[in-house]
Structure 1
Amino acid sequence: MYIPTLFRSDDRETAFDLIEEIRLGSLVSADPEIQVSHLPFMIDRMPGAMGRLIGHCARANPQWKSFGGEGEVLVVFLGPQTYVSPDWYGTRPRAPTWLYASVHVWGRSRLVDERDATRDMVVRLSEEMEPPSSAWSTESIAPYTEKLLPGIVGFHIDITSIQTQLRLGQQNTLDDRRRVHGALSNGDMSQRLVGRLMERFSFLDLPPTTP
């Protein structure tokens, strides 16, 4: 994807952290035709490698039949995003803009169409996502899970490339960034999440950066 230099992050751990927070990715394949599925993903941070995405989909979804081909697949993770009003800035004139975080992952897909492995994927995702306070457990529906497994296909994506864009107003003055952050902090959930990203990546403390 096109990423202006000041919005680009080359830190792999930042990308992995964002993927684990976003979870839902748009899986794009083009073998033989373009297909897209919106699926939840897990990630294995393999030492010394680019890492691996782990996912599963319905067997009724024809996209899995293209997995394992010669070409690469792309998974797009779009994180918190929001509109920014020119009214929020102290400097003038300003135009409307959009702030967001996104991660693009390329890799080679391969099927893991084995019952035990697929079960492990489904159980692991549930356990990672279920709130600690929840009384529900995967063990409580084990027989039901077994009935579902024939309709599920597991797969891995061995990562070959990652691009991360953090478009969070780094080019603005410190005062303008703080003004935008203040407006976002009093907005809806999506706006507050973008505000937290600005806090997290220290963009409220850094001097302005120019392309």
Structure 2
Amino acid sequence: MLNPAFDHYSHEDVRRLIAEYPLAWVLCPGAPAASASLLPMLGTYGEDGALTGLVGHMSRRNPLHALFEREGKAQFLFTGPQGYVSAEHAGRRKWGPTWNYAQARIEADVHIDETLTAQAVARLVSTCEQGREQPWNVAELEERYTGMLGMIIGFEARVTALDATFKLGQDESPDVLEAILASHPDADLREWMEAFNRDRRK
């Protein structure tokens, strides 16, 4: 059984996880595993910051297209920062190695709608191009864009259930935690560990 501390997280933690690691495994409950697909997803949020939905698009040839039209249900599995933590990182030869990670598991009602396609693509491009010196936009495809839109389909998902696990060193003693943060090579994992242990390190 995992430490209960790994189940403590905020709306902002979920938002950050999806924003920084948007590529999710998407599957239809009860469908063959081979129909699962990796798709980039963007979150929508309520006034309180809670995740309320997801927006995405996929090829019309994707098996999920037909499955979602028939079933209207989906699961989204997001994986965030993750990495092996050795006894060497902990500075304790008698300390057992572990694997730190962050993940979110979401169930949702899915609505396929071709009128969402252009909006979903534009939002994803805008999000991913943000911060570039010369952000690309779909208009640069010119007439090719219309043809490409015909081959994909947009969808939105209304969140019905969400649970997440953020196993990021909350169970480590202060000295072991500091040793890991000082020696682990994965900068992203260290940053997330620091964020989830900020109150303990004051």
Query: Do these two structures clear the TM 0.5 threshold for a shared fold by scoring above it?
Result: yes
How far residue 142 of structure 1 moved from its aligned partner, in angstroms, is 3.8
Q: Distance in 2 between matches of 1:68 and 1:199?
A: 42
Aligned residues: CA RMSD: 2.1
- What secondary structure, in the 3-state scheme, does the structure 1 residue paired with 2:140 have? helix
1:175/1:161 Cα in 2 relative to 1: closer, same or farther (>3 Å)? same
Question: What is aligned with 2:140?
Answer: 140
Q: Distance in 1 between matches of 2:2 and 2:86?
A: 22
- What secondary structure, in the 3-state scheme, does the structure 1 residue paired with 2:96 have? coil
- 2:200 aligned partner, one-letter code: L
Question: What is aligned with 1:56?
Answer: 57
**Count of residue correspondences:** 198
How far residue 91 of structure 1 moved from its aligned partner, in angstroms, is 4.4
Question: What is aligned with 1:196?
Answer: 191
Question: What is aligned with 2:158?
Answer: 158
- 1:193 aligned partner, one-letter code: D
Query: After alignment, is 62-71 or 77-86 more displaced?
Result: 62-71
How far residue 80 of structure 1 moved from its aligned partner, in angstroms, is 1.1
Question: What is aligned with 1:83?
Answer: 84
Structure 1: unaligned runs, 5 residues or longer? none
Checking the alignment, whether the CA contact within 8 Å between 1:78 and 1:102 is kept in structure 2 is yes
Q: Distance in 1 between matches of 2:131 and 2:183?
A: 32
Deviations 1:56-98 (A, max 9, x none): 1111112111114456321111011111111222445211110
State yes or no: 1:126 paired with 2:120. no
How far residue 171 of structure 1 moved from its aligned partner, in angstroms, is 1.0
Query: After alignment, is 165-174 or 65-74 more displaced?
Result: 65-74
Q: Distance in 1 between matches of 2:24 and 2:191?
A: 21
Checking the alignment, whether the CA contact within 8 Å between 2:106 and 2:163 is kept in structure 1 is yes
- What secondary structure, in the 3-state scheme, does the structure 2 residue paired with 1:160 have? strand
Query: After alignment, is 19-28 or 133-142 more displaced?
Result: 133-142
Checking the alignment, whether the CA contact within 8 Å between 2:105 and 2:163 is kept in structure 1 is yes
Question: What is aligned with 1:72?
Answer: 73
Structure 2: unaligned runs, 5 residues or longer? none
Normalization by structure 1: what TM-score?
A: 0.85
Q: Distance in 2 between matches of 1:126 and 1:145?
A: 13
Q: Distance in 1 between matches of 2:160 and 2:40?
A: 19
Question: What is aligned with 2:172?
Answer: 172
- What secondary structure, in the 3-state scheme, does the structure 2 residue paired with 1:26 have? strand
Deviations 1:88-121 (A, max 9, x none): 224452111101111111111110123xx21111
- What secondary structure, in the 3-state scheme, does the structure 1 residue paired with 2:83 have? strand
1:4/1:108 Cα in 2 relative to 1: closer, same or farther (>3 Å)? farther
Q: Distance in 1 between matches of 2:162 and 2:29?
A: 19
- 2:190 aligned partner, one-letter code: G
Question: What is aligned with 1:106?
Answer: 107
How far residue 148 of structure 1 moved from its aligned partner, in angstroms, is 0.1
- 1:137 aligned partner, one-letter code: N
